[in-house]
Amino acid sequence: MSDKGNDLITKYLADMIGVVGHVYQAIDKQVKETQDEQDVNPLLTRLRSALEAQRNSLDQRLQALGGQASNPIKQAGASILGVAAGIIDKVRSEEVSKDFRDNYTALALTHISYLMLTTTALAFSDNETADLGSRYLSETADFLSEIGKTIPALVIRDLKDEANLNPMAAADGTQRYQDAWKS
Q: What is the pTM of this model?
A: 0.84
Contact of 88 with 82, CB cutoff 8 Å: yes
Phi, psi angles (nearest 5°) of residue 161:
-85, -5
pLDDT digits (tens, 9 = 90+) for 23-78: 999 999 999 988 988 989 999 999 999 999 999 999 999 999 988 765 444 444 55
Domain containing 152 equals 3-182
Contact of 121 with 9, CB cutoff 8 Å: yes
pLDDT digits (tens, 9 = 90+) for 130-183: 999 999 999 999 999 999 999 999 999 888 888 888 888 999 999 999 989 887
| Number of independent structural domains in the chain | 1
Indicate if the pLDDT at residue 1 is higher than 50. yes
Helical ranges in the chain per DSSP H: 3-33, 41-64, 75-85, 96-123, 127-158, 169-182
The CATH number of whichever domain residue 157 belongs to comes to 1.20.1260.10
93 to 31, 82, 157, 163: CA distances (angstroms): 12, 19, 11, 21
The per-residue pLDDT for 74 is: 47
